[in-house]
Amino acid sequence: MKKLLLAAGIAATLATTAASACSYFHFDTPQDNTMIGRTMEIGFEAQETFFVAPQGYQLNDLPPAKYGFVGIRHGKTEWVSSAINEHGLNAESLALGASQYVPEGSTEIGVNYLNLGAFILGNAKTVDEAIELLKTTKVETTKIEAAFDLEAGMHYAFNDGERSIVVEYTDGSGYPDIHENTLGAMTNDPLYSIQQGEAHTLLDGTGYDDAQVKFAEGSFKGFDKSPMGRFQHIVAMNHTQDDSVIQSDLDGVNRAWHMVNALEIPRGTLYWRWLSPDPQMVGYSIVVDTNNNDYYFRTYDNQQIRKVDLDNINFAKVKYQEESIFNTIDTYQPMAIK
């Protein structure tokens, strides 16, 4: 019963267009590296597990994967919300209420919006390869749990360190609209084209393509936790950061975590009364160092950052494995005093 109730909660959270869930960003460093960050906002532990999928792994009805990948999966559902493959291609899925797909069971290979990220990571090395696959793959809808007549919608960020795109499904054909993510920012709602249009409000009348680090003082105001508020906050951070302080890849990782901190939603910051009287939160956050193929994550109940170096995983031999990302520590490392 608890599992069914949790699955219903996940589905209800994603199904509503009012959900304020998930933020994404990326930025380039002076070392020609790309850092990626993402937060997952939800009001409860959504059965998140960290998983390792080897080459040949088959997620539900998908064909066996050519490439191995790791990331965050939600229980035994098909939903992979965050992942990166052995070649450094990253996929993040964020809720989008305006999504429309073809009916379930309409495609030959059963690619649906929940398993789309895993399908692409298992079969593409780069964003260019991902685009070719996306253009020829029809995506269908599905339900989080068969017992619930609830559907959701998502849009996706794909990034390989050289190119970043946003992928949306809005016309019911099953084929995507693909946008270049030139802003390095994305939140769950609204459509990315609308988000782009709103970016100019922070850039003193200039276009975001030529915006530099100078903003009018009046442009800086308190950013709220709505999807557009978080999007504008990310745009502001991306266009005002001082690159001279990033002297190494580790500095870039730390900068990404610093930005993640700004997007934090501690319990009590945000409420979705239509879902639960309990306060919402950021359940997990990730950072990706694309050049070094490192995937970092932490959770609301474990602020210690866990690092996964994909270069140290033999995806041809490793076995499929997964474990809960929550309830993993009962103390923090004490500082040694001499």
- The number of residues in the chain equals 338
| Integer Cα distance of 239 and 231 in angstroms | 13
- Residue 149: per-residue pLDDT: 41
Cβ proximity of 24 and 185 under 8 Å: yes
Better pLDDT: 210 or 48 = 48
Tens of pLDDT, residue by residue over 247-263, are 999 999 999 999 999 99
Better pLDDT: 220 or 157 = 157
Asked if residue 150 has pLDDT above 60, the reply is no
Better pLDDT: 7 or 296 = 296
- Residue 2: per-residue pLDDT: 36
Asked if residue 20 has pLDDT above 90, the reply is no
Cβ proximity of 168 and 96 under 8 Å: yes
Contacts of 200 (CB under 8 A, 6+ apart): 206, 207, 208
* Torsion-angle region of 84 (φ positive above 0: left; ψ -120 to 50: alpha; else: beta): beta
In order, the DSSP letters of 106-138 are -SSS--BTTTHHHHHHTT-SSHHHHHHHHHT--
- Tokens representing 162 are 């050289």
Asked if residue 16 has pLDDT above 50, the reply is no
Tens of pLDDT, residue by residue over 36-75, are 999 998 777 889 999 999 999 999 889 999 999 999 999 8
CATH topology of domain 2-324: Penicillin V Acylase; Chain A (3.60.60)
Asked if residue 210 has pLDDT above 50, the reply is yes
> What pTM was estimated for this model as a whole?
0.90
In order, the DSSP letters of 156-220 are EEEE-SS-EEEEE--SSSS--EEEE-TTSEEESSS-HHHHHHHHGGGTTTS-TTS--S---GGG-
Q: Could you tell me how far CA 146 lies from the centroid of its own chain? A: 24
Least confident of 23-27, 129-133, 155-159, 185-189: 185-189
The mean predicted confidence, pLDDT, of the chain is: 87
Better pLDDT: 173 or 265 = 173
In this prediction, residue 17 has a pLDDT band, given cuts at 50, 70 and 90, of very low
In this prediction, residue 275 has a pLDDT band, given cuts at 50, 70 and 90, of low
